[in-house]
Structure 1
């Protein structure tokens, strides 16, 4: 059974109709790359799953309907969300930010502070530093780790490599693979086609607010017409 099942999902900003009947699923331990040009609705899709935008349709997680629930209830069920905006608590230290990610103040059974610092040694070095003075790449690492401290079964990550230096992009790609090795499912919104094709187990391409193509990275790589119509500038 899929971990996340989205059927006929429509989403709106005011009177603007952004998602037009999205169908998508994510299996346990799978990395699904969500691709598409800017403005096609990728970020809106993950926000709709988290209950942050007005939506209709069905979103089931572990077989239970979550569409219509408040964002904090969806998070407590086991869906983590790392927004593109890297929303850190600027005045709090790195370690205080991480501890805020624990559900009801309890440490995760699967992820500990030691795990986070082991994956991201730079965060350990700066654990007493206010999060607001971290670099963009460090804030991205911190936001991801804070979400993991809540012990999600599925994590949705919006543009994790946006604005990062090439060497940091490679680090983030490696970390995402390690999450999959630990049994975590990932829905990855990513603009960089090369990164998504390298780390995803399956890719979904969005266009005009709907999924227009699904397949393996190899199948998309071999399908030049789809790439030209929906991805290339």
Structure 2
């Protein structure tokens, strides 16, 4: 986290609402992420976690305030939001299946003339599975490899904050561990992270703070250590 005496939030949501048609999905979400901080957003399926991510990125129309580095971005087009330094890894693991792994990574670069802190060679070295398949079509990758490729491609855009939506959904335990290690590496590089996740073991291991959602709003916020003592919160809002 930042060592500034009074750092400004990297991302701040204030009274955020969102709708799908007549369905009121977000009911006044308040959340903030400080520079260099890893936030885990927990909750059962259907409570609005992914909608929160989409509202931040402009994929769902937000009602309320979404501020990034002090600038109001609520309602901006998503490509403009991305250019400001926000990265987004959707749950759908969108890749271009007929393009190679290397070509997919190249698509993430925002400015070819001004390289960011991440390079294609770094990505391929950091994740040997991708390195071995660098010149293969991305469509032949496993689910876990596609997840890694999606995160790596987002990093190629040099984001200051990255939103990662359900990165371990449907993955084998060994791959879950690898994805968790990758997210930890991203955090070590100083990138702020909003992690939408259901697996507590991953979220609590790398998060600085935890938010829990229920019925479209934040029902708890605290440190992993405090959350570990809150059996009442886990039972009411997380356990099935």
Output the TM-score relative to the length of structure 1.
0.98
Deviation (angstroms), 1:108: 3.3
Change (3 A) 1:105 1:15: farther
Alignment of 1:102-141 (within 5 A): 102-106=109-113, 108-141=115-148
Q: Which 4+ runs in 1 deviate beyond 6 A?
A: none
1:10 paired residue number: 17
Q: For the Cα contact (< 8 Å) 2:130–2:149, is it kept in 1?
A: yes
Q: For the Cα contact (< 8 Å) 2:49–2:213, is it kept in 1?
A: yes
Question: Is the counterpart of residue 228 in structure 1 residue 235 in structure 2?
Answer: yes
SS at 2:154's partner residue? helix
SS at 1:18's partner residue? strand
The total of aligned residue pairs comes to: 233
2:59 paired residue number: 52
Q: For the Cα contact (< 8 Å) 1:13–1:54, is it kept in 2?
A: no
Output the TM-score relative to the length of structure 2.
0.95
**In 2, distance between residues paired with 1:160 and 1:188?**
8
**In 1, distance between residues paired with 2:54 and 2:10?**
17
**In 2, distance between residues paired with 1:121 and 1:155?**
22
Between 152-161 and 190-199, the greater mean CA deviation after superposition: 190-199
**In 2, distance between residues paired with 1:33 and 1:68?**
24
1:21 paired residue number: 28
SS at 1:204's partner residue? strand
Which runs of 5 or more structure 2 residues have no equivalent in the other structure? 1-7
Deviation (angstroms), 1:134: 0.5
Question: Is the counterpart of residue 159 in structure 1 residue 183 in structure 2?
Answer: no
RMSD over aligned Cα, in angstroms? 0.9
Which runs of 5 or more structure 1 residues have no equivalent in the other structure? none
Deviation (angstroms), 1:118: 2.1
Q: For the Cα contact (< 8 Å) 2:116–2:157, is it kept in 1?
A: no
**In 1, distance between residues paired with 2:178 and 2:220?**
28
Q: For the Cα contact (< 8 Å) 1:202–1:216, is it kept in 2?
A: yes
For 1:148-188, what per-residue CA distance to the aligned partner results, in whole angstroms no more than 9, with x for missing partners?
00000000000001111101111111111111110000000
